[in-house]
Amino acid sequence: MELFENLSAAQIAIAMAAAFTAAFARGLAGFGLALLLVPVLALALTPLEAVMIGNFLMLFIGLLEIRSLIRDAERSAWVIGALVLLTAAPGLLLLMITPPDLARLLIALVALGAFGLFMLPERPADQPGPIQTGATGVAAGLLTGFAGMPGPPVVPYYVGRAIPRTVAKPSMLLIFTIASSAAIVSGFALGQITPRLFALSLALMPAIISGNWAGTKAFGKISDAAWRIFVGTVLSGAAATAFWRVLS
């Protein structure tokens, strides 16, 4: 069928499995949807197509949870989200002029950088100052446009502090929902959104919804320590998978 034109049955199956796995990670860790899914999609699609589909999926699932995210997120999430809105478009412009192979490598490096930042020593629970908060927002916006991955600067900002996971998770997810909307608006403005990309995103939504539901159920049953271990595992796995696929 035209929707899956140029995609093999194996590629479609891998995309569905990756979507479920990435959504499970999102539901449990509070991130990981784009970090795990975009590098896999970029193997069958162009990096730009993979990034835009990742953003559509983050927006769709974020809107389903928006009331609880607004209620539970830390106030800093709004500051970071506002900066993401301002800087996503320049990141997308950079992606448009970057050769696909180089873009795939840079996306893999982004995944590796997220793991490296997570491994830094845990910081106090106090909200960081305006410089660190601002830098996090700008970096998240640029990475939203270029890689569809606002997570690498955002995850260490929240998970790297001694705050409850019930605050860290909704704060991250609120930012990611804002980031995805910014990237999609930028994509429309730059003429990079096609009906096929929208349709492919909708086709992956059943896997996203079911995976996110399973991850959210698991989130309520584990301790803070186990949650942080899972976060580190997701980050390291994403980095290793992205590099393995680039090299292969």
Is 170 within the bounds of a domain?
yes
Is 125 within the bounds of a domain?
yes
Q: Which of 248 and 74 is assigned the larger pLDDT?
A: 74
- The alpha carbon of 201 is separated from its chain's Cα centroid by a whole number of angstroms, namely 15
Q: What share of the chain is helix, strand, coil (3-state, %, to 5)?
A: 80, 0, 20
Provide the pLDDT confidence category of residue 70 given band limits of 50, 70 and 90. Answer: very high
Is 190 within the bounds of a domain?
yes
Closest alpha carbon to 201 in 182, 184, 179:
184
Query: pLDDT value at position 117?
Result: 67
Query: pLDDT value at position 202?
Result: 92
If 0-12 CB within 10 Å is exposed, 13-18 middle and 19+ buried, where does residue 12 land? middle
Supply the range of the domain harboring residue 231. 9-247
Is 1 within the bounds of a domain?
no
Look at residue 74 and give its three-state secondary structure. coil
Q: What is the pLDDT of residues 136-152, one digit of tens each?
A: 999 999 888 887 778 88
Is 2 within the bounds of a domain?
no
Q: What is the pLDDT of residues 86-138, one digit of tens each?
A: 998 898 888 888 888 887 788 778 777 767 766 666 677 788 899 999 999 99
Is 197 within the bounds of a domain?
yes
Domain count, the chain: 1
Mean pLDDT rounded to a whole number for the chain = 85
Is 44 within the bounds of a domain?
yes
